[in-house]
A and B are shown apart, each in its own frame.
Chain A
């Protein structure tokens, strides 16, 4: 019975493989339309190398074609990726579409492809081989999902900036997803040509690319099974309408179009969102014996950060000027100042997000220059939270923290593919690490909740847990108490003190001055980009310049009064005015 429908069955598999090539890039939040050009390139070049007889008497020609096609796809994707990978969104889509069109025109004008009249291929692909290959591809993506590579793709898709601050080399991973897509495109091209026995460059057109994209999107990009569902749905639709006896002509494409619209409108996550996901798929790992062996933090007193005359200006505006700062291991340094004082600009320089315009700086042995990248500093042990929360909203709280563990993790994909126990052990260690950090900030009971659904205060705490999962030497907190009430802020203060007790160096920006005075070992006050005071909290609180900056008038009160005053003021400035 299956034999009678072998073409339909085979085409479902092939369409799904094409959809996987789009899935691979969508997974990392990219939209590329080059796949169809890569497929075309692989199909036509494979005809040049695939022998008629098995190689060495036992390697089937199809296997040679597949290996060759995937290699061509990968190499071409890499070369294309070099110039275009830094493009985003619609620009990347247009650039890659242009590439596909270039390939089409190139192949049409070659004599060895027989131009527009196309090329014949022997039939080597049937339903069994097509599904076998599809299952292998699906299996690979299934095993990818929980690996470090898979988590890195998730992170990049959700928030590139945050991913970079976890130590993920965004450009390299985007390229990786591009090359993976290239390999699968090449695979598709070869399989299609050796199934349909014929290929002409015009067959690999924009329309074909859109078909692949639609299949991937209809299937959904959140679950590895998505492309298969999309392909079954879209391939069976015309067949089903024929069986139901709906007349040929314009009605059928109409119905298909309407159904497509319904799926996109009502199932934004694609068909795979219909499959009930077990929220508890990832459970907290509370066994302390499983905690990974972590490298020791630098000894107390070791220099972590040294800035000398560091400045940042945008045109004529000096956001930060001539800041000298040093920070030793285990210290808690507070950074306060009115809004617009340049605090966030300063920590962005320290964490490598923006390069300084003048002065020198060293962070954990890395010199701050134009070439400094955030992920490089993160790799050295800098972790941070953001003033405007940057969580991976569609991932669960626990998954967010697991991404944070990127720095201390190893890639397990290859070991996962063959279910090696060592991969499982490594993953449980990372899970234990993540669970511990989640429990430490008091979110253990919300592990399965999507980050986007957490309350504001919980999101702030989750960001801290995610940063801690990287086992950082230097933790940078940008307004961690914003949106927290007094009780929560007190809890946070305690947490920060305990982190310092563990040997973590903390640099914290906060408007809640009372909390800062209680928490920090030292405080630096910035105003208009300049340091106006620094020293022990009690001294800073008495500094008349500080009081003036905060209250806008001469303060002749005593310290306890001043402290109260700034405390009261803090209650008002703690409003999320910088949160946009």
Chain B
């Protein structure tokens, strides 16, 4: 028995050693990541390593791929500007927090100047503390839940929180529709939609809109007829829904099928081209708050759309636009101090104010959260248009 145990532990440790040896050899030497000049004139000789992890496979794959594409596009465009070159590494977290933790650790060991990602908020709550402990800045580009930037002063994000978008949506909808009573529906087994629900409740209270009924469903549900029948029995002026796109399409379609023509107000999860593609006519009149609108006439955005469609198949979504903007903000911070050192990037990300990006002019506030104008859109004639 003793020998068996010994040989097994020996095997195990040999494997581990081999692994750590492989890993540490690729660690970057201390080359100066500082350069001369500032802003557009800044020149850094060494490449600035940028690491990113997104869920390219698994549950978040539908968002992760767009994020990866847009980030790659941003780095390519920024490298063309000259002076500073970025070396981008994108890894797949498989939408598994445990994988993501290991990736973060690897990025930190390999000397990444800043880490972009991960895709999901609940993953970020597990990975970001690792970066914070190792004093490596993190740029969240799709984390919208509360409590992310509270992890520490190295954690930043360009993605607007639900708390930032939803009040604007509710306010605009109230103004436009004269809301007094609403039914709220949300999936209570998802972090994103649940925090969206909480933001809706707060915003509705703020605007003195009465919630006559609250209905919950599961993120895997596809049949909402029974719930919608309950809505029919109320005297609500509108239905407020916090759900992912997978729920949005059948919910909207079935509501119209059973004859509910109340306006539907959706959270961030509804902001997807898939809503219009899959729900078709049923999606008409749906009001969605968003951090980004593809129709926005901001010149940065127009160029982004052109570049993206030229480089990849298909249209970018909000996740892609936010990833692109995240890289623009990072570039701004690097050039501001003309340094790719972690400490300098962290310091200069603290001074981001009104930086023009594909999302509009972005400011990072004292809580390291993004501030920029949110958009309230309505589906009209098969298109997301800005709600007047």
- Whether B101 contacts A11 by the Cβ 8 Å rule is yes
- Whether A115 contacts B188 by the Cβ 8 Å rule is yes
Interface residues of B in 133-173 (CB under 8 A from A): 145, 147
- Which of B1, B3, B24 has the most chain A CB atoms closer than 10 A to its own CB? B1
Provide the bound-state CA to CA distance between A4 and B22, in Å: 12
Stretch at the interface among B87-95, B273-281, B327-335: B87-95
Chain B residues with CB under 8 A of A421: none
- B190's nearest neighbour on chain A, judged by CB, is A116
In this assembly, does B344 line the interface, its C-beta being within 8 Å of a C-beta of chain A? no
In this assembly, does A203 line the interface, its C-beta being within 8 Å of a C-beta of chain B? yes
Provide the bound-state CA to CA distance between A1 and B11, in Å: 18
In this assembly, does B19 line the interface, its C-beta being within 8 Å of a C-beta of chain A? yes
- Whether B5 contacts A142 by the Cβ 8 Å rule is yes
Interface residues of B in 246-274 (CB under 8 A from A): none
- Whether B102 contacts A198 by the Cβ 8 Å rule is no
Interface residues of B in 77-128 (CB under 8 A from A): 90-92, 94, 97-99, 101-102, 104-106, 109, 122, 125-126
Chain B residues with CB under 8 A of A5: 16, 19-20, 23, 105, 109
- B218, chain A: closest CB distance, angstroms: 8
- A123's nearest neighbour on chain B, judged by CB, is B129
Provide the bound-state CA to CA distance between A242 and B23, in Å: 9
In this assembly, does B354 line the interface, its C-beta being within 8 Å of a C-beta of chain A? no
In this assembly, does A518 line the interface, its C-beta being within 8 Å of a C-beta of chain B? no
In this assembly, does B46 line the interface, its C-beta being within 8 Å of a C-beta of chain A? no
What does DSSP make chain B's interface, helix, strand, loop or mixed?
A: helix
- Whether B19 contacts A239 by the Cβ 8 Å rule is yes
- Whether B20 contacts A1 by the Cβ 8 Å rule is yes
- Whether B5 contacts A248 by the Cβ 8 Å rule is no
In this assembly, does A8 line the interface, its C-beta being within 8 Å of a C-beta of chain B? yes
In this assembly, does A243 line the interface, its C-beta being within 8 Å of a C-beta of chain B? yes
- Whether B125 contacts A228 by the Cβ 8 Å rule is no
In this assembly, does A457 line the interface, its C-beta being within 8 Å of a C-beta of chain B? no
Provide the bound-state CA to CA distance between A1 and B109, in Å: 10
- Whether A117 contacts B102 by the Cβ 8 Å rule is no
- Whether A248 contacts B8 by the Cβ 8 Å rule is no
- Which of A5, A11, A123 has the most chain B CB atoms closer than 10 A to its own CB? A5
- Whether B15 contacts A232 by the Cβ 8 Å rule is yes
In this assembly, does B191 line the interface, its C-beta being within 8 Å of a C-beta of chain A? yes
Provide the bound-state CA to CA distance between A105 and B216, in Å: 13
- B23, chain A: closest CB distance, angstroms: 6
- Which of B8, B97, B193 has the most chain A CB atoms closer than 10 A to its own CB? B8
Interface residues of A in 209-233 (CB under 8 A from B): 223, 225, 228-229, 232
In this assembly, does B57 line the interface, its C-beta being within 8 Å of a C-beta of chain A? yes
Q: With A249-B92, A253-B94 given, is the CB distance from A9 to B16 under 8 Å?
A: yes
- Tally B residues with Cβ within 8 Å of A: 45
- B105's nearest neighbour on chain A, judged by CB, is A7
- A107's nearest neighbour on chain B, judged by CB, is B189
- Whether A118 contacts B56 by the Cβ 8 Å rule is no
- Whether B126 contacts A197 by the Cβ 8 Å rule is yes
Q: With A116-B188, A242-B106 given, is the CB distance from A225 to B4 under 8 Å?
A: yes
Q: With A242-B91, A249-B57 given, is the CB distance from A198 to B8 under 8 Å?
A: no
Fill in one digit per residue for A196-213: 1 if any B CB lies within 8 Å of its CB, else 0.
Answer: 111011110000000000
- Whether A117 contacts B191 by the Cβ 8 Å rule is yes
Chain B residues with CB under 8 A of A8: 19, 102, 105
In this assembly, does B233 line the interface, its C-beta being within 8 Å of a C-beta of chain A? no
- A102, chain B: closest CB distance, angstroms: 13
Fill in one digit per residue for A254-268: 1 if any B CB lies within 8 Å of its CB, else 0.
Answer: 000000000000000
- Tally A residues with Cβ within 8 Å of B: 50
Interface residues of B in 192-238 (CB under 8 A from A): 193-195
- Which of A11, A236, A238 has the most chain B CB atoms closer than 10 A to its own CB? A238
Q: With A117-B194, A200-B191 given, is the CB distance from A6 to B92 under 8 Å?
A: no
In this assembly, does B130 line the interface, its C-beta being within 8 Å of a C-beta of chain A? yes
Chain B residues with CB under 8 A of A200: 122, 191
Fill in one digit per residue for B1-40: 1 if any A CB lies within 8 Å of its CB, else 0.
Answer: 1011101100110011001101110100000000000000
- Whether A223 contacts B4 by the Cβ 8 Å rule is yes
- A155, chain B: closest CB distance, angstroms: 20
Q: With A4-B24, A202-B189 given, is the CB distance from A117 to B12 under 8 Å?
A: no
- Whether B20 contacts A252 by the Cβ 8 Å rule is no
- Whether B109 contacts A4 by the Cβ 8 Å rule is yes
- Whether A197 contacts B105 by the Cβ 8 Å rule is no
Chain B residues with CB under 8 A of A142: 1, 5
Chain B residues with CB under 8 A of A249: 56-57, 92
* Residue from the list A228, A248, A272 in contact with B91, Cβ < 8 A: A248
- A120's nearest neighbour on chain B, judged by CB, is B125
In this assembly, does A317 line the interface, its C-beta being within 8 Å of a C-beta of chain B? no
- A118's nearest neighbour on chain B, judged by CB, is B122
- B104's nearest neighbour on chain A, judged by CB, is A7
- B121's nearest neighbour on chain A, judged by CB, is A117
Provide the bound-state CA to CA distance between A108 and B188, in Å: 7
In this assembly, does A250 line the interface, its C-beta being within 8 Å of a C-beta of chain B? yes
Chain A residues with CB under 8 A of B4: 223, 225, 275, 277-278
A-B contacts besides A5-B109, A8-B102, A248-B90, 10 pairs, CB < 8 Å? A4-B109, A7-B101, A8-B19, A117-B191, A198-B97, A198-B122, A240-B19, A248-B92, A249-B56, A252-B92
The 10 residue pairs across chains A and B that have the minimum distance between CB atoms: A248-B92, A198-B125, A225-B8, A7-B105, A196-B126, A117-B191, A243-B22, A4-B109, A198-B126, A7-B101
Partner-A contacts on B (CB < 8 A): 1, 3-5, 7-8, 11-12, 15-16, 19-20, 22-24, 26, 56-57, 90-92, 94, 97-99, 101-102, 104-106, 109, 122, 125-126, 129-130, 145, 147, 188-191, 193-195
